[in-house]
C-alpha cells in the first residue's frame, strides 16, 4: 500500500503576481479539477486537487512536507478536504530542496512502522485522468517492491526546454530502465530528444521504498543523509505539526532528488504516466490548460476582451478590458498587474529580481493574508492609517495582544464579536463598533457559527505586522 508524500514547499515565482511568497501557487485554485465523478471546478487549490486525486486508491494517510511559514494554510486546506486528522504535516524551517524533504518523510514513515512504499507527489501539478494516474502508480509500486527507484514520465509533445528528460532504456515489467537523466536542455537538444522518441519528460513524481531511498541517499549523499537523520531524531511535535530540528537542517546541503539520487543510482526505472500532465509552471502553461473562447483566449475573473486573440487575461481584482491585443498575458490582482507577450514569459524572473532588490511587499504578501483564525485583506493604506477587512472563522480567536504604535477601531459587518479589552469582555454585533486604544491589551474572538466579518481602521506612527506583542496565543505564535 502506497504512502503519499506531498511536496508543498515550492515558491511558484513564475506565476507572479498571483503567486506570492506567503501564498505560492500550490495553495491557489488555478486549474480545473480532473475527476471521473465530478464536474470541473476551479474551487479546489492545486494542493487540494493533489489530495483529491488519491480518492479511490488504497493508501496510507498522506504526509505533507512544507515550509513552516505555510503550516496554517496547509492545515486549513487539509481540513477542508477532511484529511487533517489522519495526515502528517512535516515543517521545514529551512528549505533544503527535495532530496532532504523526501528523506525527512522517509525517516518519519519508517519510525511509524514497516517499510512503506512512498509515492512522492508535487502539490502543484495538473493531471486530467485520475484513473490513468492510479494505474501508473500501481505499476510503479510493483517495480518499487523489486527495489527500483521509479520515476513517472510523459512522452513529450513538443520541444520543451523547461522540463528535465529521461533517456528510456530496455523494457522491464510495466516499465523501462532509465539510461540517464538529462537536465533542462536548450531548444536544439530538446528538438533532438523529441525526434528520437527515446526521451520522456521527467514529471518529478517518484515511487520507491522508504528504506531503498535512504540507502541510496546515504551512498551518494552522506552529508544530506546525516543531517536529515539528526533533524528527524530531534523532531518536536507542535499541535498538528512535526518540526524537524532547524539546527540540524542548517548543516544539510541543498540538492534536488534528481541530482542527489536519481541521476546516480543504478536502479532507476520509469513508468509512463497514463494522463495528460503539466507542472503548472507558468502563465503560458495555464493558457494551454485553459478553456479557449472563439478567439483562442483564456479569460478568468472580471474581464472584457474586444478584438483580442490568443491571450490569457485574468483578474482577481479590478475590471480589466483589452482592445486589439494578440499573444499577450494580462494578470491583475488588487495591488499588481503583469502585462507580457506570451513569448516573453520566461523573463518574469527578471521582474521578481527587481522587486526583490527594491524590497517590494507585492512580491511577498498576497491580497488575502491567511492566518490560523481566518484572513485579512488590506483595503487602503496611507502614511498614518490602514484599513483592513478581517474575517474570523467560527470558534476562532486572535491572540491576546497589544500594540505600541497604533490604535484600532473595529466595525462589525456581519456576525458577532467577543471583545476582550483589558479586564472587560463584551459582545458587539452587526453595525456596532468599538475602539482599542494604544497599548491596551485586547483580543478578538468569533463565538458564533458563521464567519465574523469586520472592518478595522488602524491609526498611528507605525502600522507594521511586527507591532504585535502576543501575551497568549492558541496557535503557539510569539
In a domain, 216, yes or no: yes
In a domain, 53, yes or no: yes
- Other Cβ atoms less than 10 A from the Cβ of 247: the count is 13
**What pLDDT was estimated at residue 35?**
41
- Is residue 292 located within the same domain as residue 151? no
- Is residue 110 located within the same domain as residue 55? yes
- Is residue 428 located within the same domain as residue 354? no
- Is residue 26 located within the same domain as residue 157? yes
Residue by residue, DSSP assigns 236-302 as EEETTEEE--HHHHTTS----HIIIIITT-S-EEEEE--S-EE---SHHHHHHHSPP-TTS-EEEEE
- Nearest to 280, CA basis, from 19, 64, 88, 23: 19
**What pLDDT was estimated at residue 33?**
54
- Is residue 28 located within the same domain as residue 144? yes
Express each pLDDT in 53-92 by its tens digit: 999 999 999 999 999 999 989 998 998 888 888 889 999 9
**What pLDDT was estimated at residue 40?**
39
**What pLDDT was estimated at residue 36?**
38
Is the pTM higher than 0.75?
Answer: yes
In a domain, 475, yes or no: no
Grid cell, residue 49, equals 486537487
Tens-digit pLDDT string for the chain (478 aa) = 999 999 999 888 999 999 999 999 999 999 865 443 333 344 799 999 999 999 999 999 999 999 999 998 999 899 888 888 888 999 999 999 999 999 999 999 999 889 999 999 999 999 999 999 999 999 999 999 999 999 999 999 999 888 999 999 999 988 999 999 998 899 999 999 999 999 999 999 999 999 999 999 999 999 999 999 999 999 999 888 999 999 999 999 999 999 999 999 999 999 999 999 999 989 999 999 999 999 999 999 999 999 999 999 999 989 999 999 999 999 999 899 999 999 999 889 999 999 999 999 899 988 888 899 999 999 998 999 999 999 999 999 999 999 999 999 999 999 999 999 999 999 999 999 999 999 999 999 999 999 999 999 999 999 988 999 999 998 887 7
- Is residue 334 located within the same domain as residue 436? no
Distances (CA, A) of 254 to 94, 106, 217, 407: 10, 17, 13, 44
**What pLDDT was estimated at residue 478?**
74
**What pLDDT was estimated at residue 369?**
86
- Is residue 103 located within the same domain as residue 161? yes
Tally the domains of the chain: 3
Angle between helical axes of 210-220 and 97-111 (0-180°, round to 10): 130
- Is residue 153 located within the same domain as residue 35? yes
- Nearest to 100, CA basis, from 22, 181, 243, 214: 214
- Is residue 142 located within the same domain as residue 216? yes
Per-residue b or e along 67-95, where b marks 16 or more CB atoms closer than 10 Å to that residue's CB: bbebbbbbbbbbeebebeeebbbbbbbbe
- Is residue 266 located within the same domain as residue 297? no
Half-sphere exposure at residue 67, Cβ-oriented, CA atoms within 13 angstroms:
15
In a domain, 364, yes or no: no
In a domain, 367, yes or no: no
Range of the domain at 29: 2-278
CA 449 to chain centroid, in Å, comes to 29
Mean pLDDT of the chain: 93
- Is residue 287 located within the same domain as residue 329? yes
Distance, in Å, from the CA atom of 145 to the CA atom of 413, rounded to the nearest integer, reads: 57
What is the DSSP-derived secondary structure letter of residue 69? G
- Nearest to 279, CA basis, from 362, 337, 201, 199: 201
Express each pLDDT in 22-48 by its tens digit: 999 999 999 865 443 333 344 799 999
CB burial of residue 30 (10 Å; 0-12, 13-18, 19+): buried
In a domain, 440, yes or no: yes
**What pLDDT was estimated at residue 31?**
84
In a domain, 476, yes or no: no
**What pLDDT was estimated at residue 32?**
66
**What pLDDT was estimated at residue 39?**
36
Q: Is 217 helix (H, G, I), strand (E, B) or coil?
A: helix
- Is residue 181 located within the same domain as residue 212? yes
In a domain, 478, yes or no: no
Amino acid at each position: 500500500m502506497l504512502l503519499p508524500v506531498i511536496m508543498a514547499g515550492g515558491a511558484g515565482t513564475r506565476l507572479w503576481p498571483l503567486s506570492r511568497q506567503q501564498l505560492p501557487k500550490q495553495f491557489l485554485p488555478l486549474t480545473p479539477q480532473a475527476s471521473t465523478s465530478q464536474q470541473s471546478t476551479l474551487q479546489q487549490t492545486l494542493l487540494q486537487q493533489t489530495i483529491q486525486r488519491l480518492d479511490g486508491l488504497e493508501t496510507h494517510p498522506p504526509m505533507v512536507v512544507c515550509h513552516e511559514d505555510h503550516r496554517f494554510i496547509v492545515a486549513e486546506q487539509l481540513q477542508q478536504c477532511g484529511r487533517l486528522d489522519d495526515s502528517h504535516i512535516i515543517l521545514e524551517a529551512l528549505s533544503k530542496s527535495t532530496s532532504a524533504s523526501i528523506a525527512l518523510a522517509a525517516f518519519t514513515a519508517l519510525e511509524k512502522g514497516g517499510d512503506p512504499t512512498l509515492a512522492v507527489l508535487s502539490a502543484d501539478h495538473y493531471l486530467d485522468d485520475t484513473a490513468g494516474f492510479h494505474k501508473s502508480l500501481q505499476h510503479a509500486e510493483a517495480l518499487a517492491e523489486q527495489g527500483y527507484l521509479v520515476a513517472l514520465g510523459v512522452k513529450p509533445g513538443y520541444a520543451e526546454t523547461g522540463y528535465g528528460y529521461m533517456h528510456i532504456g530496455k523494457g522491464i515489467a510495466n516499465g523501462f530502465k532509465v539510461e540517464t537523466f538529462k537536465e533542462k536542455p536548450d531548444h536544439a537538444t530538446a528538438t533532438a530528444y523529441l525526434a528520437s522518441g527515446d526521451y520522456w519528460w521527467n514529471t518529478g513524481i517518484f515511487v520507491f521504498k522508504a528504506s531503498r531511498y535512504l540507502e541510496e541517499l546515504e551512498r551518494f549523499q552522506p552529508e544530506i543523509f546525516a543531517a536529515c537523520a539528526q533533524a528527524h531524531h530531534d523532531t518536536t511535535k507542535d499541535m498538528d505539526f512535526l518540526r524537524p530540528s532547524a539546527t540540524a537542517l542548517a548543516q544539510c546541503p541543498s540538492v534536488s532528488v534528481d541530482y542527489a539520487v536519481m541521476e546516480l543510482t543504478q536502479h532507476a526505472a520509469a513508468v509512463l504516466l497514463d494522463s495528460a500532465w503539466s507542472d503548472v509552471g507558468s502563465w503560458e502553461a495555464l493558457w494551454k490548460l485553459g478553456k479557449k473562447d472563439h478567439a483562442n483566449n483564456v479569460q478568468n475573473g472580471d474581464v472584457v476582451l474586444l478584438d483580442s486573440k490568443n491571450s490569457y487575461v485574468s483578474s482577481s481584482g479590478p475590471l480589466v478590458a483589452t482592445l486589439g491585443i494578440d499573444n499577450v498575458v494580462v494578470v491583475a490582482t488588487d495591488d499588481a498587474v503583469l502585462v507580457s507577450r506570451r513569448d516573453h514569459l520566461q523573463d518574469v524572473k527578471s521582474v521578481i529580481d527587481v522587486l526583490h532588490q527594491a524590497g517590494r511587499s507585492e512580491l511577498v504578501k498576497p491580497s488575502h493574508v491567511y492566518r490560523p483564525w481566518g484572513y485579512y485583506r488590506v483595503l487602503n493604506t496611507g502614511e498614518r492609517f490602514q484599513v483592513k477587512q478581517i474575517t474570523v472563522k467560527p470558534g476562532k480567536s486572535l491572540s491576546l495582544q497589544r500594540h505600541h504604535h497604533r490604535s484600532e477601531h473595529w466595525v462589525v459587518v456581519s456576525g458577532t464579536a467577543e471583545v476582550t479589552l483589558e479586564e472587560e469582555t463584551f459582545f458587539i454585533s452587526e453595525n456596532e463598533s468599538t475602539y482599542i486604544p494604544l497599548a491596551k491589551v485586547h483580543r478578538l474572538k468569533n463565538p458564533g457559527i458563521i464567519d465574523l466579518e469586520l472592518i478595522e481602521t488602524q491609526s498611528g506612527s507605525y502600522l507594521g505586522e511586527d507591532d504585535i506583542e502576543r501575551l497568549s496565543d492558541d496557535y503557539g505564535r510569539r
